[in-house]
Amino acid sequence: MALRDIKHYQRDSILRKRSRRIDNIDDRVHTLLDDMIETMYAAEGVGLAAPQVGVLKRVIVIDIGEGLIEIINPEIVKKSGKQLESEGCLSVPGIVAKVSRPMQVTVKGLDRDAKEITVEGTGLMAAALCHEIDHLDGILFIDRADIVYEED
């Protein structure tokens, strides 16, 4: 495992590109997952997407304090409700924004063993899933923001 550099929205255009699906889950994908997890925890984040560490692959990791979730090729298959909450991002340091997200989402994808998984999230988990999946499509939370402000 290794810490990877987190890309910055003002310097790294990779954050604006669409990530590619993963067709073969191999040791390289496992290493990417392990590195992303270590990087996310070291940066004290609650989620991280592969483009944030310079890799255009559809991989996310999330831990909102309820245990680690790893999803390869995540896809939102259901969403409902609405919430407007503050968000930040490791790739957009010092900025916080009020972002409208679904209150509940269901995401399908693969785990590191290539088994199909379904993750359901409500509240913060729903927002984190949407936020990280947006990264895979080159979308930053500030693009969806209702109100943007600098962090204290």
- Residues with catalytic annotation? 132
Contact between residue 61 and residue 48 where contact means Cβ atoms under 8 Å apart: yes
Alpha-carbon distance of 40 to 98, in angstroms, equals: 22
Alpha-carbon distance of 105 to 114, in angstroms, equals: 22
10-to-15, 92, 150 alpha-carbon distances in Å: 9, 8, 15
Alpha-carbon distance of 109 to 1, in angstroms, equals: 23
Instruction: Look at the alpha carbons of 59, 106, 146, 149 in this order and tell me if their dihedral is positive or negative.
Output: negative
